[in-house]
């Protein structure tokens, strides 16, 4: 079959038309000047304008570590490590309250024979900081926690010293501590909290760490790594429960 039009013997064929398109496209492309790479003298690249990452000292320099909590584990008969790796509006604290109530009501045992270890890591860290840190670093906003007393994002740790009638009145941190709970904070998470505070305030590591450590709730102990603390607690006879959801 011919590519030539039967209506006009002198008309160009389809093959001629496709060929002319190809030639035209090549010619048009040849007329467009190529964009050369900008010389280095034109200025810094986008990547170089980003702020450098905050450098932290090695974790081994964060000690010495308080290991007194392991002595408590040794003295207790019933000990359970709660893995609180998520904030979840205080769910891990609620689990600890249920454990204490169950041991008391079902078997008649309480502290010091019963020891709940509350291992705080992940985004659960606001649970263990005091009011000044909550207000300065806006933990109420970042954790999406409203204060039931004001109806606004909390500028205090709502899990510390709750009032009678508040939803967490039976499982505030101080309430659980009075019943024998030991609060532990993962140092790796703590370092992440320090890093963010350094970026916000442009202050050195040692200064920010000292501020935030002083801002921890009374009785909270920082451990080198929560996974290691869990292993050590199990080596000292504690059981484990996931309390992150």
Considering the four listed CATH numbers 3.20.20.140, 3.40.1260.10, 3.40.50.970, 3.30.470.20, the one that applies to the domain covering 72-129+172-242 is: 3.40.1260.10
Tokens 């359970």 -> residue: 80
pLDDT in tens, the chain (245 residues): 444 433 333 444 434 433 443 434 433 444 444 444 444 444 445 555 666 778 899 999 999 999 999 999 999 999 999 999 999 999 999 999 999 999 999 999 999 999 999 999 999 999 999 999 999 999 999 999 999 999 999 999 999 999 999 999 999 999 999 999 999 999 999 999 999 999 999 999 999 999 999 999 999 999 999 999 999 999 999 999 999 76
Helix/strand/coil for 211 = helix
- What residue spans define the domains of the chain? 72-129+172-242
Q: Which residues contact 104 (CB under 8 A, 6 or more apart)?
A: 110, 114
116 membership: H or E segment, kind and range: strand 114-120
Q: Whole-model pTM? A: 0.79
Strand order in the sheet with 239-242: 221-223, 182-186, 114-120, 78-84, 239-242
């Amino acid at each position: 079959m011919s590519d030539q039009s039967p209506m006009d013997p002198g008309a160009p064929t389809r093959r001629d038309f496709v060929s002319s398109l190809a030639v035209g496209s090549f010619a048009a492309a040849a007329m467009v000047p190529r964009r050369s790479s900008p010389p280095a003298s034109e200025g810094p690249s986008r990547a170089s304008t980003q702020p450098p990452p905050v450098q932290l000292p090695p974790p081994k320099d964060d000690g010495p570590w308080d290991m007194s909590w392991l002595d408590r584990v040794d003295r207790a008969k019933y000990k359970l490590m709660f893995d609180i790796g998520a904030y979840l509006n205080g769910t891990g604290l609620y689990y600890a309250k249920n454990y204490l109530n169950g041991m008391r009501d079902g078997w008649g045992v309480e502290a010091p024979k019963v020891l709940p270890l509350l291992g705080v890591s992940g985004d659960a860290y606001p649970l263990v900081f005091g009011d000044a840190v909550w207000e300065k670093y806006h933990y109420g906003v970042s954790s999406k926690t409203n204060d039931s007393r004001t109806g606004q994002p909390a500028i205090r740790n709502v899990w510390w010293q709750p009032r009678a009638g508040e939803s967490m009145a039976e499982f505030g941190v101080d309430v659980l501590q009075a019943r024998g709970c030991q609060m532990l904070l993962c140092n790796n998470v703590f370092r992440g909290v320090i890093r963010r505070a350094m970026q916000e305030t442009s202050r050195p590591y040692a200064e920010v760490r000292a501020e935030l450590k002083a801002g921890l709730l009374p009785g909270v102990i920082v451990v080198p790594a929560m996974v290691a603390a869990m292993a050590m607690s199990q080596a000292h006879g504690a059981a484990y429960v996931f309390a992150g959801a």
